Amino acid sequence: MNMKAFSSLVGLSAHTLRYYEKIGLLKNVQRNSSGHRVYTRKDVKWLEFVIRLKETAMPLEEILEYARLREQGSSTVLERQALLERHQQSLKAHIAQQQSHLSALEDKIDLYKDGKVR
């Protein structure tokens, strides 16, 4: 698929896609005979995972580290797993903190509903 279709499918701008390619996050993008980028289903799956990491607040440097390890193949499986487990713990802590904030907000709203705040 071409850049426009790929950009639309993954929800990233063409500029972002070119940047990801430049920094090595999106590697080995195929080109057609005219030199235009041609993206594959494999590219879609990879970018969906990258976007998921980004949306869960994994720093770009860690995403790049994961990508570098992935590129090295099966010898880095344990390192990739450890990196993802660290992120998982960070994400769980963030969710717990947000849940605490939500609970406090709900308590405050209940005070308003009960007429205890004027």
Residue ranges of domains in the chain:
1-55, 59-118
pLDDT at 67: 97
Closest to 50 in 3D by CA, of 80, 26, 83: 26
Distance CA 56, CA 94 (A): 10
Mean pLDDT across 58-82: 97
Q: What percent of the chain has pLDDT over 70?
A: 100
Query: Could you read off the pLDDT of 82-105 as tens digits, one per residue?
Result: 999 999 999 999 999 999 999 999
Average of per-residue pLDDT across 101-110: 97
pLDDT for the residue numbered 118 = 78
Cα angle at 98 between 94 and 101, to 5 degrees? 145
Cα–Cα nearest to 70, from 91, 96, 49: 49
Q: Is the pLDDT of residue 117 over 90?
A: no
Tell me what pLDDT residue 87 has. 98
CATH architecture of residue range(s) 1-55: Orthogonal Bundle (1.10)
Q: What percent of the chain has pLDDT over 90?
A: 97
User: What is the mean predicted confidence (pLDDT) over 52-65?
Assistant: 97
Mean pLDDT across the chain: 96
